Chain A
Amino acid sequence: MDRNSTGTAYESRRRSRAVIFLGLLLMGVCMAVITHVMTRVFIEKQRRLAIEWSHKGEAALKNGEQLQAVSDFQTALVYDRENSQYRLRLAQALIAAGQLNEARSHLLHLWEEKPGDGFINLELARLSAQQRDLLGVLRFYHAALYGVWDVDPERQRDQARLELIEFLLQHNENTQARAELIAFSSTVPNRIPDLLQLGRFFFQAQDYENALSTFQRALRIDRHTRELQRQAGEAAFNLGRFGTAARYLHENSDNSDPEAQRRLETIHAIQDLSPYQHRLSERDQFHRVVLNFQLAGNKLQECVQTRAPQTNTAAPAVQADYSQWQQLNSVLDVDHLRADPELMDRTMNLIFTIMTDVEKVCPLGARDTALLLIAKYREQVER
């Protein structure tokens, strides 16, 4: 075959290929249109099915049929896999059905997509709380607090913080709880119910200082609220501010509140027994020390005779306290107290030790509690 005929055949093939390519382009356009139509119809069908099954899921959840709701939302997700709302509802249905691991998996999935979403973080925090995952609780609640909320963000954040505080208090994580409460307190409105709740939280977290100031803040709004007075009195009592405590508890005095009555008795006993009371002469001071010492010894003897033998762990401590008391009792009097400046402190230390050990074994009355508190707070006892 010569060069010209080869070239002609090539040209012919090239032209026919060009024509066929053009034909393929046209066919491609047609196929694109057909595929587009098919896809649109199909996607629309899937969308409708997803909506239908999600409605069924919502109805099942309302009727308390959690497992059915799970199945319905799973089906909805099959038809609309990108729908985060369905996935969230599925997670909530799973939580309601007690399938926490599965719920967590879906929530983490959502979290991967929107790590800053307040609601998703809140759900994960709640789930972590149910699963007693402290690290998860802290992580996700904090993320919820600083996350993005579409609706009513301030209220949602406060709610999240409250839940976190309740969780921490339930699990005796008082240090963490106190930090959260301090942050929370800046957003609490000046309403008595809110301040009362905040104060109670502070009290539960053993932050009596902040508890007292919160109750006092509330009392400035309405000083006659009995519950506030009582709580303020308790907080002041725990701080050793017995004078303040007495004032609040007196104002709230009500024979139907035995606890408040007990507190007042204790406070009166402190006022009667404390050698650190204001304007006491030195002689009276030392007399009171000796009196407290005798009272402590009497209580100790009573406890040793009635209860100590029955409690193995406390018995040695109480027995040891008693022998120490006997030793000191042989030398303790007003003259020795005057002569030895350190004797008073040693005496009060022993009283504190005695009453602390007795408290573990025997019930303390108002006077015994007063002895303990006097020995504990000493000069810090608010007069």
Chain B
Amino acid sequence: MKLSPAELTTVAPGATTRRRVSSSALRTWFNEERFFLILAIFIGIFSGFAVVCFRIAIEWSRLIFLGSSLVPSKSRMLLAPSLLGLVVAALVILVFPKVRGSGVNQTKSALYIYDGYIPFRTAIGKFITSALAIGAGHSLGPEDPSLQIGAAIASALGRLLRVSRENLRLIAPVGAAAGLAAAFNAPISAVLFVIEEVVGRWSAGIFGAVVLSAVSSVVVSRFFLGSQPLFRIPPVQLISPAEILAYAALGIIGGIASVVFARLIGSLRPPLKRLPRWTQFLQPAVAGLLIGLIGYFGAPQVLGAGYDYIDQAIHDQFTWEMLGLLAGLKILATTLSFTSGTPGGMFAPTLFIGGMLGGAVGGFQHAFFPHLTGSTGTYALVGMGVLFAGFMRAPMTSVFMVLEVSGNYSIVIPVMVANTLSYLLARSLQPKPIFEVLTSQDGLELPSMEEQREEVLLRVEDAMRPLEAPVLLSSETVESALTRTAEVPADAVLLVDARPAGWSAVRKAELEKIASGSSSTEVMLLLNGTIPSLHPDQRLETALIDIADQPVLPVVHRAAPQNLVGTISLSDILDLYRKVGKETGAES
């Protein structure tokens, strides 16, 4: 039936309601949280595309500058990293100044300082300069740049879609996880690393988005580049339980190597940064030339990311002496590349150094204690995790990373033992992790993830005090209440068991005031609603929020809510914070 103009201009009684319902439904369904999760998938997909192209760009760059042979010609080894170093330096200084460094700290800076802002230009610059540098033979890896590229894409998408300010801050780690997952082809490790090292805490809101983006990017990456693992792992061999001792030795050696590596970078970087600006155009070239010389004189394996040589080490291709030498030379080469300001990451070199070191330790032990040790390939695999735990200071990520790249769970016990020892030893010898060292050198103050992880959590039980006054019943009379609380000071606040409603409180002074008029009045009539109760294991922050204006709150047992275990007041909470503050101040 056709409506007349008058009818058209008249709003039908239900129309406004219908429009309000549909908007409300849309708003409910498409709320910010859900929108953020959908956006995470897009971030993962776009980051996946970008990282696939990035990996291909690195390989093309390598083919062009170093040739197709596994061992480049001597002339290429000398010329490629040095000449391309000049080009990269010019690009970094003149065009893309924000692409220096690995990318991890830059992503953390976006999260904690710049409200999630990473210029998209950074992604482009990182893509170009890292592909050139790594492809030309600089001893750096593609994972950290992939992390930053993913973070930059996420930041750009978030700004484009006008995500809320809070979510915009969190969006960089979402992209970071996507970039890292695609680069590593290892979604679990990527998620763990970002949570462990970039975000520093677990929360449902960020976790879901990080997982979705990592999974999406890996799906894209595997669609184009296949799902084969980063390394071809031979059968893992564990000879006997006593072999754990051998892996423990690897953990200790790896911890020491991690500290050496970190200190070398930490000590060489500041003086190079202090040199005149014009030298920064030459530093990557000089670093490239030195790395080329290392290759020229017999160790071409240190050029580039080095994954192919890790594969060879896992397959017993080198003697243990050669493996040890390669580990040392790679530490030197990576230090030169990284401290010269060449864009690129430290993940791949860390795995290389760990793999070589593990192979060296395994080969040595196999030579002298053959009955105790299995194949050196297994040691190379564990060694990668050892360096990751000691140098990157990401112990959980290091364990899962080894499991994920090997696809073999039988290696888990040696990995856990070796990685833990490496981590603890590295921590004791070098309390500040490498990323914090770099941050301090850059003049930034970012939160320490390690400190955050080990922060002592204050709980209600730390501040509460035992029950000092009897608990009143809501059904008892004021007279009875006063009799029972005769010993209690006059200004005390008394807790009242007002079940089934809950707990409540009343001042003794108020009881006395009522008693003078009608002592048979029930306490229940004096109550002003219920008060929240707490549990001993709850965090003190929760108590601080719940206590609001209440003079005191009950602390009850979780298994028996009627069982009162103590009370807590605002002054109790503040006293504890002061005490902890003084102790922390005294320690530092």
Contacts and interface: CB of A to CB of B under 8 A. Distances in A.
A28 B46 contact: yes
Interface in A1-52: 7, 10-11, 13-14, 16-17, 20-21, 24, 27-28, 31-32, 34-36, 38-39, 42, 45-46, 49, 52
Given A75-B68, A78-B308, A112-B234, A105 B315 contact: yes
A102 interface: yes
Nearest to B233: A109
Given A11-B23, A75-B69, A109-B234, A42 B49 contact: no
A229 interface: no
Contact of A35 (B52, B60, B161, B316): B52
A106 interface: yes
A10 B23 contact: yes
B316 A108 contact: no
Interface string B210-231: 0000000000000011101000
B49 A102 contact: no
B519 interface: no
Given A39-B225, A82-B228, A106 B315 contact: yes
A10 B35 CA distance: 13
A55 to B, nearest CB: 13
Contact of A74 (B42, B70, B157): B70
A238 interface: no
A201 interface: no
Given A71-B70, A112-B234, A112-B235, A105 B375 contact: yes
B521 interface: no
A307 interface: no
A131 to B, nearest CB: 13
B312 interface: yes
Interface in B400-457: none
Contact of A7 (B23, B49, B56, B63): B23
Contacts of A313: none
B484 interface: no
Contacts of B235: 108-109, 112
Contacts of B314: 105
Contacts, number: 90
B30 interface: yes
Nearest to A3: B20
A36 B162 CA distance: 30
A81 interface: yes
A86 B385 CA distance: 29
B53 A35 contact: yes
B70 A102 contact: no
Contacts of B70: 71, 74-75, 78
Contacts of B228: 81-82
A32 B221 CA distance: 11
A101 B162 CA distance: 59
Contacts of B274: none
Interface in B11-45: 20, 23, 26-27, 30, 35, 42, 45
A36 B224 contact: yes
Contacts of A27: 46
B157 A24 contact: yes
A140 interface: no
Contacts of B49: 28, 31-32, 34-35
B226 to A, nearest CB: 8
Chain A CB within 10 Å — which of B45, B46, B317 has the most? Answer: B317
> Which of B20, B42, B46, B234 is most buried by chain A, counting CB atoms within 10 A of its CB?
B234
A108 B46 contact: no
B532 to A, nearest CB: 32
Interface in A83-133: 99, 101-102, 104-106, 108-109, 112
A38 B52 CA distance: 9
A24 B308 CA distance: 36
Q: How large is the interface on B (under 10, 10 to 19, 20 to 34, 35 or more residues)?
A: 35 or more
A53 interface: yes
Interface in B45-84: 45-46, 49, 52-53, 56, 59-60, 63, 68-71
Contacts of A53: 68
B312 A42 contact: no
B46 A102 contact: no
Nearest to A7: B23
B42 A24 contact: yes
B162 A13 contact: yes
Contacts of B42: 21, 24, 28
Contacts of A34: 49, 53
A10 B315 CA distance: 59
A81 B232 contact: yes
B23 A102 contact: no
Contacts of B52: 35, 38-39
A7 B22 CA distance: 12
A296 to B, nearest CB: 52
B6 interface: no
A120 to B, nearest CB: 13
Which residue among A7, A14, A35, A46 has the maximum number of chain B CB atoms within 10 Å of its CB?
Answer: A35
B377 A105 contact: yes
A34 B71 CA distance: 31
B160 interface: yes
Contacts of B69: 75
Contacts of B60: 42
Interface string B229-250: 0001011000000000000000
Interface in B303-357: 308, 311-312, 314-317
Contacts of A24: 42, 46, 157
A289 B84 CA distance: 101
Contact of A28 (B30, B45, B56, B160): B45
A20 B160 contact: yes
A102 B315 contact: yes
A39 B56 contact: yes
Interface string B365-385: 000000000010100000000
B162 A17 contact: yes
A321 B400 CA distance: 75
A52 B23 CA distance: 63
A99 B315 CA distance: 11
Nearest to B42: A24
B22 to A, nearest CB: 10
Residue in B70, B226, B375 whose Cβ sees the most chain A Cβ within 10 Å: B70
B373 to A, nearest CB: 13
A154 B165 CA distance: 73
Contacts of A52: 68
A101 B316 contact: yes
Contacts of B20: 7
B68 A38 contact: no
Contacts of A32: 49
Contact of B161 (A20, A99, A101): A20
B308 to A, nearest CB: 5
Contacts of A82: 226, 228
A123 to B, nearest CB: 15
Contacts of A35: 49, 52-53, 224
A105 B316 CA distance: 7
B33 to A, nearest CB: 14
Contacts of A42: 56, 59-60
Interface in B177-208: none
B312 A39 contact: no
A112 B375 CA distance: 15
Nearest to A75: B70
B35 A17 contact: yes
A39 B60 CA distance: 11
5 contacts: A75-B68, A75-B69, A78-B70, A102-B315, A105-B316
Given A7-B20, A75-B68, 7 more contacts: A28-B45, A28-B49, A39-B224, A42-B56, A49-B68, A104-B316, A112-B234
Q: What are the nearest 8 A-B pairs in CB distance?
A: A105-B315, A75-B70, A31-B49, A39-B224, A105-B316, A42-B56, A101-B316, A35-B49
